[in-house]
C-alpha cells in the first residue's frame, strides 16, 4: 500500500443498530437481554426491544455470591431485613447481636445452661456444652472459660467444651473409676482440640479452664451419682434441697480451684480474703497448647437428697463463692420459676446486675434420688433396658 492513498477507514456506524435475535447478539451470538443497548460480548450497539425490569428489592443482588459461608439467615430486630454474614443488616445496616454473646441450651426438662458475655467484657470467651442421653438417664455438663490474656480465648473455650462433651457422652459409662478415667480423657482430648483450633504460642496461646460433670440418674443398671472434674477456676457445686432438718442440708463446692486464691486459702487465709487478693484470679492450671498439666482433679458424689448440680464460670461465683450464697440466689430465683432454664437465666441476670465484670456461664441439672419416687422409676423403665 502506498502512503499516498488513504488507509481503509472502518465504518464506525451511523445506522440504526440491530436488535437481539432470540436473546442473542446478532453480531456474535453472545447471550444478551431484551433491554440491552449493547452486547456485553462484542460491544456492538443493540436496539432494545423491551424495557428493563424493575430494580431488585433491597438486599444483595441474587446473582451475587456472598463473601464467606452464610449460616442460617437471621432477621434484623430493627427493620426485619436479613442479617448478612458480616453481622450487619443488609437493609438498614444495624449491627446484629453476636450469637456468641449469649446462648442458651435446654436439652432436657431437668437440664439447661446459659452462656453470656456479661456487662464489662466486649467478647464472650466462656463456652458451654450440654448433652443428655437419648434414654434421659445420663447427662454431661461442660463449662470452659477462655483465658483472657490469650487472643483466641473464645475459640479455645468453644473447641475445648465441645470436644470434652463429645468424649464424656461416649466414654463416661460404667463404674466410678471408668467415669473418672473418662473425665481425665475428656480433659486431654479437649486440650488437643484447643491446640488444634488455635494458632498462638507462648503466653498468647489460646487457653481455657475446664469444669465438667456427669450426672447418672437412678435407673436400672446405673449407679446414680454425680461425677465431676475440673482444671483452673471454673466450678462444680452441689446445692441440695433444704430437708426437714436444716443441719442436714448438703451445700457443697465439689471442685477445688487451681488458682492463686486457692493457694492462699490452703496457706490458711479465709476464702473471702483470699479471693480478694490482687492475683487471686490467676490460674495455675489450664488447657491449651502451652499447658503442662492437664489432668483434672476428679470426684464422685452420691447425694442424700434431691437438689441442683451447678457448673459455672467465675463470672457467676465472683458474686456467690460460698455454697450457701449460691444456694440463696438459687432459692430466690426458684420462687418465680423453678425450671433449670429459668434458674440459669435468673442467675446470669443476677450476676450481670452485680456488675457483670466477667463472662457468665451457668449450667444446671436437677438431680433426684429416684428410689424415693416410684412414679419416675416407672417412667424411666418404660424405655428399653439400659446396659450398665
Nearest to other proteins of 8, 202 (CB atom): 8
d(CA 227, CA 215) in angstroms, rounded, equals 6
CB nearer other proteins, residue 2 or residue 267: 2
CB 284 within 8 Å of CB 213: no
Q: 67 in helix, strand or coil?
A: coil
Contact 207, 146 (CB under 8 A): yes
107 grid coordinates: 436439652
Which helix (H) or strand (E) is 374 found in, with range? helix 374-381
Q: Give yes or no for a contact between 297 and 230, defined as CB atoms under 8 angstroms apart.
A: yes
* Least distance in angstroms from the C-beta of 95 to other proteins: 5
Of 85 and 324, CB closest to other proteins:
85
Phi, psi (degrees; rounded to nearest 5) at 50: -150, 155
- Nearer residue to other proteins within complex by CB, 17 or 107: 17
Minimum separation from the CB atom of position 96 to other proteins (A)? 10
**H or E segment at 74?**
strand 74-75
Binding site for other proteins (CB under 8 A): 1-3, 6-13, 27-28, 30, 40-44, 55-61, 63-67, 79, 84, 86, 88-95
Q: Report, in Å, the least distance between residue 39 CB and other proteins.
A: 8
Which of left, alpha, beta for 23 (phi over 0: left; psi -120 to 50: alpha)?
Answer: left
32 vs 213, which CB is nearer to other proteins?
A: 32
Could you give the CA distance from residue 316 to residue 253 in angstroms, rounded to a whole number? 13
Residue 40: other Cβ atoms inside 10 A: 12
Rounded to whole angstroms, the maximal C-alpha distance in the chain is 122
188, 246, 253, 339, 369 from 243: Cα distances, Å: 39, 6, 19, 20, 13
Tell me the closest approach of the beta carbon of residue 341 to other proteins, in angstroms: 29
User: 7 or 267, CB closer to other proteins?
Assistant: 7
Q: Least distance from C-beta 118 to other proteins, angstroms?
A: 17
Shortest Å distance, C-beta 76 to other proteins: 10
Minimum distance, C-beta of residue 374 to other proteins, in the bound complex (Å): 56
The three three-digit cell numbers of residue 141, written as one number = 455438663
Looking at beta carbons only, is 98 or 170 nearer to other proteins?
A: 98
Residue closer to other proteins (CB basis): 10 or 375:
10
Grid coordinates belonging to 101: 454473646
Tell the smallest beta-carbon distance from residue 25 to other proteins (Å): 9
Amino acid at each position: 500500500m502506498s502512503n499516498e492513498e488513504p488507509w481503509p477507514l472502518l465504518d464506525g456506524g451511523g445506522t440504526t443498530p440491530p436488535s437481539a435475535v432470540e436473546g442473542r447478539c446478532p453480531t456474535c451470538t453472545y447471550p444478551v437481554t431484551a433491554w440491552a443497548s449493547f452486547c456485553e460480548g462484542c460491544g456492538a450497539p443493540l436496539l432494545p426491544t423491551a424495557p428493563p425490569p424493575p430494580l431488585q428489592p433491597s438486599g444483595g443482588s441474587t446473582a451475587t455470591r456472598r463473601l464467606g459461608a452464610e449460616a442460617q439467615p437471621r432477621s434484623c430486630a430493627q427493620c426485619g431485613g436479613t442479617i448478612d454474614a458480616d453481622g450487619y443488616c443488609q437493609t438498614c445496616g444495624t449491627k446484629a447481636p453476636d450469637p456468641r454473646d449469649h446462648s442458651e441450651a435446654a436439652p432436657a426438662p431437668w437440664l439447661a445452661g446459659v452462656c453470656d458475655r456479661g456487662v464489662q467484657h466486649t467478647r464472650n470467651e466462656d463456652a458451654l456444652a450440654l448433652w443428655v442421653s437419648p434414654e434421659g438417664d445420663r447427662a454431661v455438663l461442660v463449662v470452659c472459660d477462655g483465658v483472657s490474656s490469650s487472643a483466641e480465648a473464645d475459640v479455645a473455650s468453644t473447641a475445648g467444651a465441645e470436644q470434652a462433651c463429645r468424649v464424656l457422652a461416649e466414654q463416661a459409662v460404667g463404674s466410678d473409676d471408668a467415669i473418672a478415667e473418662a473425665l481425665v480423657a475428656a480433659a486431654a482430648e479437649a486440650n488437643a482440640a484447643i491446640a488444634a483450633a488455635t494458632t498462638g504460642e507462648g503466653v498468647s496461646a489460646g487457653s481455657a479452664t475446664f469444669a465438667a460433670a456427669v450426672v447418672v440418674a437412678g435407673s436400672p443398671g446405673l449407679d446414680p451419682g454425680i461425677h465431676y472434674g475440673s482444671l483452673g477456676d471454673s466450678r462444680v457445686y452441689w446445692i441440695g434441697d433444704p430437708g426437714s432438718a436444716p443441719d442436714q442440708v448438703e451445700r457443697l463446692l465439689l471442685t477445688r480451684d487451681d488458682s492463686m486464691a486457692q493457694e492462699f486459702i490452703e496457706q490458711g487465709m479465709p476464702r473471702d480474703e483470699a479471693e480478694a487478693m490482687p492475683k487471686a484470679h490467676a490460674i495455675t492450671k489450664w488447657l491449651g497448647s502451652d499447658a503442662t498439666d492437664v489432668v483434672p482433679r476428679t470426684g464422685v458424689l452420691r447425694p442424700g437428697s434431691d437438689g441442683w448440680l451447678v457448673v459455672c464460670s467465675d463470672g457467676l461465683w465472683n458474686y456467690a463463692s460460698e455454697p450457701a450464697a449460691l444456694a440463696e440466689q438459687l432459692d430466690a430465683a426458684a420462687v418465680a420459676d423453678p425450671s433449670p432454664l429459668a434458674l440459669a437465666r435468673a442467675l446470669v441476670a443476677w450476676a450481670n446486675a452485680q456488675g457483670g465484670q466477667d463472662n457468665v456461664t451457668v449450667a444446671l441439672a436437677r438431680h433426684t434420688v429416684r428410689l424415693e419416687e416410684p412414679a419416675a422409676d416407672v417412667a424411666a423403665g418404660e424405655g428399653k433396658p439400659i446396659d450398665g
